[in-house]
Amino acid sequence: MNKRQAAHQHVIENQAGHLERVREFMAQPSVSQDNQGVEECAKLLLRYYQELGCKEAEIAETPVFPAVWGYYDAGAPKTLAVYSYFDTNVVGDGWDHPPYDAVVAPHGPFKKVLYGRGANNKGAFMGFLNALESIKAAAGELPVNLMFVSEGEEFVGSDHIPLLIDRYRHHLSKADDAMVAGACQTASGDVTLFLGNKGNLHLELECSGDRWGRGPAGGPVHSSAQPVVDHPVWRMVQALSTMFDPETNRVLVDGFYDDLEAPSAEDLELIDGLSKRYKGQERSAIPSLSPGKVERFVNDVSGRDAFLRYCFEPTMNINGLRAGYTGPGTLLWTLPSAAYCTIDHRLPPDMDPLDIRDKIRAHLDRNGFEDVGIKVLMAVPAQKLSVTDDVAKAGLRVFDGWGIEPTVWPRRGASGPMGFFSKMLGLKLLGSTGIGYASGHSAPNEFLVIEGDGKVGGLSELERSFVDLLYSYAAYPGEF
C-alpha cells in the first residue's frame, strides 16, 4: 500500500470524526451581509489551520471582515495557493431543518446529506482539510506546500482580496499554481470542470433630485405636483434606455465590446463537445438555470450558439430597481425624489471591469446624464485556464483514475475573486475537482451529500479525490 492508498484508507476509517468536523464548521454562522458570526468563524478556521500544523497561521484583519492566512511548509518542491471563503449568504425562508443545526438526514436518492447554510463552500472546504489530515496521518507529511487565503466577505464583494495578496505576496509570489477546493458533480452525477470564470463589475446607479438639481430633493412630494416638478425616476428610465437594446440583446455603451476577443481554437473545440453532449438539453446544461423557469433563450438561440453566448458574451444585467412606494394598492401617492438601479456585468478575461466602468461613465456624460451617479459595488477580474496547463492536466487525470469522463467548459458564466490571483500573481487556478455534490449556496435547504448513490460521491469520495489531486499535482508529469 503506497502513501496515497494509505491516506484513502484513513479517510474511510475516520468518516465519523470527519463528518463531525464538517458539522462543527457549518454550525458556526458566518453571514457577511449582516455581520453574523464572521469573526467567530474566522477564529474556528484559524484553529483548523493550527491543528493541521501550518508554519504560519493568523487572523488577517481587513477594514471590513477578518480573513485567515495559513502557510503549510512541507518542504516539498511544489506549492499551491488555496483560495476559499467562509462567509455565507443570508438564511432566508423555506428551510425544513434549522440552518445551523447541521442536521444529517435523507434527501431524495441520498441516504445521508448534511443540511445547513454554507454546505457548498464551508462543507466542501472542510472535506479538503479532512483529506489533508488523512494524508498527514498516513504518510507523515503533505506532498505539496500550501498557502491558504481564506476570506470572510465573498458575499459582499471580496473587496480586500488584493490587500491580502499584497500582504502575503512575499510567500504567494513563490506559489507555482492555485486551486479552489470544491465539489464538482451535478445532482445527476455528471462531473464538470470549468476552465475559469468571467469577471464581474457590479454598479449602483443613482438619479436623485439632490444630484440632479431638479425634481424633489430630500424626500418625495405628492404625485399631483408632477405637472410642475421634474421626475428622477423617469430620468433613470431614460438613462437606462440608452445603455441596452433588449431587441438585439446588445449593450449600447460606446466601446463596450472593443477588447472582446474571439474564442480560441481550443475554446471552440470544447464548445463543440458541449453542444454534442447536450444536444436538445441546453436548458438543463447551462449552469444556474432553475428547472422550468426558462423556456426560450435570447434571440431563440440553441445548440452551439447557446453555449458560445453563455461562455463568451459579456453581459449587462439589471438585477435591482428601487424607487418610491412599491407596496400594494394606492396607499401612497408620491413623486419620488430618487431612483436606484443595480447592474452587474459578467466580463470575459479580455475585458477589464474598471475600464468598462469608465466607458459607462463617459456614455452617460455624452448623453446628458452627468448627474446620474455611479457607485462600484464589486469589481473582480476574470481568470482562465487551458487544458494544456500542468495544474489542469493534474486535475483531469484524477478523473481518469476514477473512471470518469468530465464535461469541460471553457469557463463559467459566474464570477469570483479568484481572478486576482491570476492578475496580481500570474498564477493558473484550478477550479473545483472534488467528487461530490453540494446544492446551491443561496437556496433554502442547502446540503452536502454525505452518502452518495453510486453516481454522486459522498464525503468519503470527496475527501479521497482531494487526496488524489494533491498527489497527482505533486508528481506531475510523473505517475502518481
pLDDT, one tens digit per residue, over 130-187 is 999 999 999 999 999 999 999 999 999 899 999 999 999 999 999 999 999 999 999 9
| pLDDT given for residue 441 in this prediction | 78
> Using CB atoms within 10 A of its CB, is residue 34 exposed (0-12), middle (13-18) or buried (19+)?
exposed
Terminal-to-terminal C-alpha distance of the chain: 13
C-alpha cell of residue 476: 506531475
* pLDDT tens-digit map of 391-401: 999 999 999 99
Min mean pLDDT across 64-73, 314-323, 433-442 is at 433-442
C-alpha cell of residue 214: 431638479
C-alpha cell of residue 117: 447554510
User: What separation in angstroms does the CA of 415 have from each of 139, 164, 200, 274, 412?
Assistant: 36, 19, 6, 20, 8
Residues in the chain: 480
C-alpha cell of residue 51: 491543528
| pLDDT given for residue 211 in this prediction | 96
| pLDDT given for residue 326 in this prediction | 82
For the full predicted model, state whether its pTM sits above 0.75: yes
pLDDT above 70: residue 330: no
Are 444 and 94 spatial neighbours (Cβ–Cβ below 8 Å)?
yes
Local confidence band at 263 (pLDDT 50, 70, 90 cut-offs): very high
Question: What is the overall mean pLDDT for the chain?
Answer: 95
- Calpha distance 30→421 (Å, rounded): 24
| Closest among 196, 182, 137 to 466, alpha carbons compared | 182
Nearest-10 crossing angle of helices 15-27, 459-475: 100
User: What separation in angstroms does the CA of 351 have from each of 90, 286, 315, 362?
Assistant: 31, 22, 11, 17
* pLDDT tens-digit map of 36-86: 999 999 999 999 999 999 999 999 999 999 999 999 999 999 999 999 999
Average pLDDT over residues 301-311: 95
pLDDT above 70: residue 7: yes
290: DSSP letter: P
| Domains of the chain, first to last | 3-195+385-475 (3.40.630.10), 201-380 (3.30.70.360)
Phi and psi dihedrals of 130, rounded to 5? -60, -40
